[in-house]
């Protein structure tokens, strides 16, 4: 409920408050103003619905505003996600807005009043900032064309911001070089969804927690990473005795405290365990044949796909070269050779020939081939590969694996499998995502109440803003792909730009943008709602690259983050409740909030920044013929994007019009009035600086909505989400009704018959083959079918050796959000956890002359950090394994972490670096 309405005077509120309180006691329904009056008379704080700024759980908030300031937040009792609860971070959503060092004006490196790459930061006006930025953009664009410029975005954008960014880059700049930090977070899940179901995002919803009797966590420390969901899990467990929780992890963590069983596996051992479960399902004939025959096919893909590193050692640090070389060829271990059904290759060199786009190629196989693929994964073989705790006996580990298979197979069990970064940040992240669906599909335990494989998201709007809007370098809104002509044509039509404006060549993914800065192929980078120089792996490379003289780096943020140190221009950004917004959480729930407070000083919304920047670019700057190295697509001259200026003229778009006119202030958008008569809040930091009388957030959201209608992604209109009564809606929203389970005829209006239909359209015509390749290249259509994949075990590219003798795994902790740029400014959270500890097994510490509380150096081939050793709290490491969080600016964890990625999803593996640890001098 909102009452931040300036027209309601305090005296009126007080008077109304007395009458309203009396009315309430006798059950008379109250108007918004009357309810507000009660609140105001109770403490002069006006409460408005909001959404938590942090994790992908997507908890609803009540946000308290007094005198134009957000003074408090509390869990929203009416929010179905959290039912009034928040976690320790969530309770401090108000305080993150008011850190003492909020950025309040643009800062540029200058000497003698002019931009100077080596100058000192000076305050400048917005006009000076944006003019220099536009000049730098034009310099790079003229020299390199669309591929030389980029935006690094985020799953923390609001949906309208994300949509604007994607449109600016793809339609305006004709570049696809925009990628969100969601690439670092759940890109492997996205590809898993695409390849298995042909459409992104989960089938199930959070209410399954209250419907199942078994939950299995796969590398998902939910107690720290999704705390309110964990409280629902705990509640289920404590109130329903039969509920079981199994925690599969590489170290004992907080989630183990509630789990019935913790299974500690070796890095990449999850691949073997999943195959073992599949083998058991096949051997015990536990397959739901009717479901599988009707709704699924079997599939496999290439095995020698590399590790997502550069194919050359030209930019590698000397110590990195040995690992980098494995990008091109590896010696196949005996275990891998057996696991991949090619024992004859054990100890032999195997070239990695299926890199790049080929890594994702897959084909249908027979059930007989699938059976052959999983056959090597006996209990003994799997245990040998996957056991992660050297101090656990093989027999005990085997018992746990068998128990796990029994639990999945037992028909009586309603089972949920959860995962997040443990699966996604994985050199074979797409494969593990696909394998868990294989388990659930074979058993027909998916997309039905209490049963499903459920991928969680890390960020508050990774689904809404990164995935659904399509801020990835390969995507357009609503699961459309830039590489597909009909998708481009549809987008160009909705966007009102000429055909062939959108570049058909997939852009650079997150790590490729950073690598481009290093090799001089990307020279203009704008970062929004993201702190890449702390968050990206192997960061010593990118820190140096940012300072190359030819690169211009713009960092838009609310605080002077670590990335700001490496910027040329810093733009002060508005934060969550200082703007209108919507987020999409991990269960497909879209939630909106109205602006409640103004940003400090001259801080502006990211949307305002993009629109103002677009005013400084003319159509003719970007829409003439452009070089695109490597572009080779039917209908295009090799290496070139055609000029669309003539076509544009025919549509009434003149060459000297600005990108602002063409992309944002379109005639239909200008009709969307600001202030909005139907909505309560009358403040808007996007419209205020230019006194706009149109409502960009609403206009852009409703334009974006056109992509979603009728194709299984349907969203409601802007006003519905902003309405004080709506607590988010799970899409597709058809005829005003949300869809709790996709693909299931009982719930999903897109399924008309047959019980289930996996109706996603992507990758639904594939060749035929066997475990080792394609036998018939002719694509066979697979309408409404899901794919049950065979994917084998493969070892991590870097493993502990004589010199770097320990594993390093990294992640988040309960008290802090990502790089700590917001939560470390909340004194209570900073006091609760001020340091990123180096978690070690006590025996490993002792062996190195270390004890709890000592400062140690953690060093890899890529760099070193110092951290305080912790051996007996929170995370309990098996021998051989260490752990660091990345929130602590003092401990630049990612300077140590390898930048190997899943070759299909290009998501980095933050969980498997080899390090050595020794006492700091
Ligand atoms: S951080 Fe996540 S779990 Fe905690 S309150 Fe926010 S959304 Fe909920």
Q: Are residues 212 and 266 in the same domain?
A: yes
Kindly state the percentage of the chain with pLDDT values over 90.
Answer: 95
Q: How far is the CA of 863 from the centre of ligand 1 (A)?
A: 33
Average pLDDT over residues 659-684: 97
654 marked among binding-site residues? no
The residue nearest atom 4 of ligand 1, judged by CA position, is 87
Does 5 have pLDDT greater than 90? no
Write out the residue range of the structural domain in which residue 268 sits: 188-456+761-789
Does 236 have pLDDT greater than 50? yes
Q: How confident is the model at residue 356 (pLDDT cuts 50, 70, 90)?
A: confident
Q: How far is the CA of 577 from the centre of ligand 1 (A)?
A: 16
Query: What is the rounded CA–CA span in Å between residue 906 and residue 513?
Result: 12
- In a domain, residue 430? The reply is yes
Domain CATH code at residue 300: 3.40.228.10
421 marked among binding-site residues? yes
Helices (H), 549-675: 606-615, 619-622, 645-650, 659, 667-670
Nearest to 604 by CA among 612, 615, 592: 612
- In a domain, residue 556? The reply is yes
Q: How confident is the model at residue 42 (pLDDT cuts 50, 70, 90)?
A: low
Average pLDDT over residues 506-533: 98
- In a domain, residue 915? The reply is yes
Q: Are residues 693 and 781 in the same domain?
A: no
C-alpha 508 chain-centroid distance: 16
Does 330 have pLDDT greater than 70? yes
- In a domain, residue 66? The reply is no
* Catalytic, out of 35, 89, 144, 698: 89
Average pLDDT over residues 880-901: 98
Query: What is the rounded CA–CA span in Å between residue 902 and residue 187?
Result: 9
Domain CATH code at residue 824: 2.40.40.20
Does 25 have pLDDT greater than 50? no
Q: Which pLDDT score, from 0 to 100, does residue 76 have?
A: 97
Contacts 24+ apart (CB under 8 A), 139-143: 139/552, 140/523, 140/524, 140/552, 141/173, 141/524, 141/621, 141/622, 143/523
310 lines ligand 1 (CB under 6 A): no
Q: Are residues 653 and 776 in the same domain?
A: no
* Catalytic, out of 458, 712, 728, 863: 458
Does 715 have pLDDT greater than 90? yes
225 lines ligand 1 (CB under 6 A): no
- In a domain, residue 557? The reply is yes
* Packed helices 696-708 and 606-615: angle between N→C axes, nearest 10 degrees: 90
Q: Are residues 594 and 673 in the same domain?
A: yes
Average pLDDT over residues 188-212: 97
Q: How far apart are the first and last CA of the chain?
A: 57
Does 6 have pLDDT greater than 90? no
Query: What is the rounded CA–CA span in Å between residue 445 and residue 213?
Result: 13
3-state DSSP call for residue 673?
Answer: strand
- In a domain, residue 636? The reply is yes
829 lines ligand 1 (CB under 6 A): no
Domain count across the chain: 3
Query: What is the rounded CA–CA span in Å between residue 900 and residue 427?
Result: 7
Q: Are residues 255 and 272 in the same domain?
A: yes
Does 633 have pLDDT greater than 90? yes
Q: Which pLDDT score, from 0 to 100, does residue 81 have?
A: 97
Atom of ligand 1 nearest to the CA of 86: 5
Query: Which has more confidence, 223 or 15?
Result: 223
Atom of ligand 1 nearest to the CA of 91: 5
Find out whether the peptide bond into 732 is cis, omega within 30 degrees of 0: yes
Q: Are residues 778 and 822 in the same domain?
A: no
Q: Which pLDDT score, from 0 to 100, does residue 36 have?
A: 52
Kindly state the percentage of the chain with pLDDT values over 70.
Answer: 95
Q: Burial code of 695-728, b = ≥16 C-beta within 10 A, e = fewer?
A: bbbbbbbbbbbebbeebbbbbbebeebbbeeebb
Q: Which pLDDT score, from 0 to 100, does residue 27 have?
A: 37
In sequence order, what DSSP letters do the residues of 391-403 get, joined into one string?
TS-HHHHHHHHHH
pLDDT (tens digit per residue) in 298-318: 999 999 999 999 999 999 999
Pairing of strands 415-419, 214-218: parallel
- In a domain, residue 699? The reply is yes
Atom of ligand 1 nearest to the CA of 75: 5
Q: Are residues 228 and 270 in the same domain?
A: yes
Q: Which pLDDT score, from 0 to 100, does residue 39 have?
A: 53
The residue nearest atom 6 of ligand 1, judged by CA position, is 90
409 marked among binding-site residues? no
Q: Are residues 714 and 863 in the same domain?
A: no
Q: How far is the CA of 58 from the centre of ligand 1 (A)?
A: 6
Beta bridge pairs of residue 527: 152, 555
Mean pLDDT of all residues in the chain? Answer: 95
Domain CATH code at residue 722: 3.40.50.740
In sequence order, what DSSP letters do the residues of 632-666 get, joined into one string?
--TTS-TTEEPP-HHHHHHTT--TTSBHIIIIIS-
Residue 29 and residue 1 in contact, taking contact as beta carbons nearer than 8 Å: no
Q: Are residues 824 and 701 in the same domain?
A: no
87 lines ligand 1 (CB under 6 A): yes
Q: Are residues 424 and 450 in the same domain?
A: yes
Residue 791 and residue 771 in contact, taking contact as beta carbons nearer than 8 Å: no
Does 830 have pLDDT greater than 70? yes
Query: Which has more confidence, 4 or 844?
Result: 844
Q: Are residues 783 and 843 in the same domain?
A: no
pLDDT (tens digit per residue) in 61-91: 999 999 999 999 999 999 999 999 999 999 9
Average pLDDT over residues 364-390: 98
Query: What is the rounded CA–CA span in Å between residue 68 and residue 2?
Result: 13
- In a domain, residue 31? The reply is no
89 lines ligand 1 (CB under 6 A): yes
250 lines ligand 1 (CB under 6 A): no
3-state DSSP call for residue 335?
Answer: helix
Query: What is the rounded CA–CA span in Å between residue 425 and residue 430?
Result: 9
The answer to whether 186 is a known catalytic residue is yes
Q: How far is the CA of 54 from the centre of ligand 1 (A)?
A: 6
Residue 742 and residue 203 in contact, taking contact as beta carbons nearer than 8 Å: yes
Pairing of strands 329-331, 349-351: antiparallel
Q: Which pLDDT score, from 0 to 100, does residue 12 have?
A: 41
Q: Are residues 180 and 201 in the same domain?
A: no
Does 591 have pLDDT greater than 70? yes
């Amino acid at each position: 409920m909102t009452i931040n309405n300036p027209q309601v005077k305090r005296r009126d509120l007080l008077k109304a408050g007395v009458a309203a309180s009396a009315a309430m006691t006798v059950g008379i329904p109250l108007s918004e103003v009357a309810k507000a009056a009660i609140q105001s008379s109770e403490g002069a704080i006006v409460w408005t619905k909001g959404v938590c700024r942090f994790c992908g759980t997507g908890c609803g908030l009540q946000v308290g505003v007094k005198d134009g300031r957000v003074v408090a937040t509390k869990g929203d009792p009416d929010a179905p996600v959290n039912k009034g609860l928040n976690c320790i971070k969530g309770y401090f959503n108000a305080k993150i807005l008011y850190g003492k060092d909020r950025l309040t004006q643009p800062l540029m490196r200058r000497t003698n009043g002019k931009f100077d790459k080596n100058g000192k930061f000076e305050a400048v006006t917005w006009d000076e900032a944006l003019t220099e930025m536009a000049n730098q953009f034009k310099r790079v664009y003229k020299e390199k064309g669309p591929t030389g410029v980029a935006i690094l975005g985020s799953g923390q954008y609001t949906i309208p911001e994300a949509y604007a960014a994607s449109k600016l880059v793809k339609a305006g700049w004709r570049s696809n070089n925009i990628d969100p930090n969601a690439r670092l977070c759940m890109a492997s899940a996205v590809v898993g969804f695409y390849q298995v179901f042909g459409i992104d995002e989960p089938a199930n919803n959070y209410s399954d927690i209250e419907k199942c009797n078994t939950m299995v966590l796969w590398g998902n420390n939910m107690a720290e990473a999704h705390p309110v969901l964990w409280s629902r899990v705990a509640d289920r467990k404590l109130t329903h005795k039969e509920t079981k929780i199994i925690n599969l992890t590489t170290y004992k963590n907080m989630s183990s405290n509630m789990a019935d069983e913790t299974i500690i596996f070796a890095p990449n051992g999850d691949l073997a365990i999943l195959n073992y479960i599949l083998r058991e399902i096949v051997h015990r004939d536990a397959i739901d044949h009717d479901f599988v025959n009707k709704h699924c096919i079997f599939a496999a893909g290439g095995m020698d796909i590399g590790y997502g590193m550069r194919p050359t050692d030209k930019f590698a640090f000397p110590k990195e070269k040995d690992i980098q070389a494995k990008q091109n060829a590896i010696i196949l271990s005996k275990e891998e050779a057996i696991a991949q059904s090619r024992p004859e290759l054990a100890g032999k060199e195997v070239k990695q020939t299926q890199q790049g786009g080929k890594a994702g190629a897959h084909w249908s196989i027979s059930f007989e081939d699938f059976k052959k693929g999983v056959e090597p994964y006996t209990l003994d073989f799997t245990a040998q590969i996957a056991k992660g705790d050297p101090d656990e006996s093989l027999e005990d580990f085997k018992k746990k694996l068998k128990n796990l298979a029994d639990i999945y197979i037992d028909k009586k069990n309603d089972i949920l499998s959860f995962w997040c970064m443990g699966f996604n940040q994985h050199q074979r992240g797409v494969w593990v995502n696909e394998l868990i669906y294989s388990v659930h599909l074979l058993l027909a335990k998916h997309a039905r109440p209490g049963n499903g494989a459920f991928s969680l998201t890390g960020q508050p709007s990774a689904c809404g803003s990164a995935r659904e809007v399509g801020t990835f370098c390969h995507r357009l809104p609503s699961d459309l792909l830039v590489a597909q002509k009909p998708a481009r044509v549809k987008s160009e039509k909705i966007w009102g730009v000429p055909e062939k404006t959108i570049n058909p060549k997939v852009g650079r993914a997150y790590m490729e943008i950073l690598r481009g800065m290093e090799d001089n192929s990307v020279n203009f980078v704008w970062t929004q709602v993201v702190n890449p120089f702390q968050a990206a792996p192997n960061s010593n490379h990118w820190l140096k690259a940012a300072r190359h003289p030819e690169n211009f780096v713009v960092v838009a943020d609310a605080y002077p983050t670590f990335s700001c140190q490496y910027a040329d221009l810093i733009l002060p950004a508005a934060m969550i409740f200082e703007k209108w917004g919507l987020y999409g959480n991990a269960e497909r729930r879209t939630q909106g909030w109205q602006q409640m407070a103004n940003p400090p000083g001259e801080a502006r919304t990211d949307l305002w920044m993009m629109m103002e920047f677009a005013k400084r670019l003319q159509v003719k700057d970007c829409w003439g013929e452009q070089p695109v190295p490597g572009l080779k697509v039917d209908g295009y001259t090799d290496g070139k994007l055609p000029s669309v200026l003539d076509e544009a003229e025919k549509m009434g778009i003149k060459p000297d019009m600005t990108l602002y006119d063409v992309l944002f202030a379109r005639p239909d958008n200008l009709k969307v009035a600001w202030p909005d008569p139907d909505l309560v809040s009358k403040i808007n930091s996007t419209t205020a600086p230019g006194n706009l009388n149109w409502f960009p957030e609403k206009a852009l959201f409703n334009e974006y909505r056109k992509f979603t209608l009728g194709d299984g992604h349907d969203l409601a209109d802007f006003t519905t989400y902003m309405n004080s009564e709506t607590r988010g809606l799970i899409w597709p929203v058809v005829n005003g009704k949300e869809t709790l389970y996709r693909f299931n005829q009982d719930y999903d209006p897109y399924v008309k018959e047959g019980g289930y239909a996996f109706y996603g359209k992507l990758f639904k015509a594939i060749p035929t083959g066997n475990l080792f390749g394609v036998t018939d290249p002719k694509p066979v259509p697979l309408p409404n079918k899901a794919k049950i994949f065979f994917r084998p075990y493969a070892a991590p590219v870097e493993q502990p050796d004589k010199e770097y003798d320990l594993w390093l795994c990294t992640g988040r902790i309960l008290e802090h959000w990502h790089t700590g740029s917001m939560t470390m400014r909340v004194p209570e959270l900073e006091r609760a956890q001020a340091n990123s500890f180096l978690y070690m097994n006590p025996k490993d510490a002792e062996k190195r002359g270390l004890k709890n509380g000592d400062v140690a150096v953690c060093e890899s081939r890529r760099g070193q950090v110092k951290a305080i050793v912790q051996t007996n709290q929170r995370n309990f490491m098996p021998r051989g394994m260490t752990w660091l969080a990345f929130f602590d600016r003092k401990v630049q964890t990612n300077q140590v972490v390898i930048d190997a990625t899943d070759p299909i999803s290009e998501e980095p593996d933050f969980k498997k670096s080899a390090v050595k640890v020794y006492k700091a001098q």
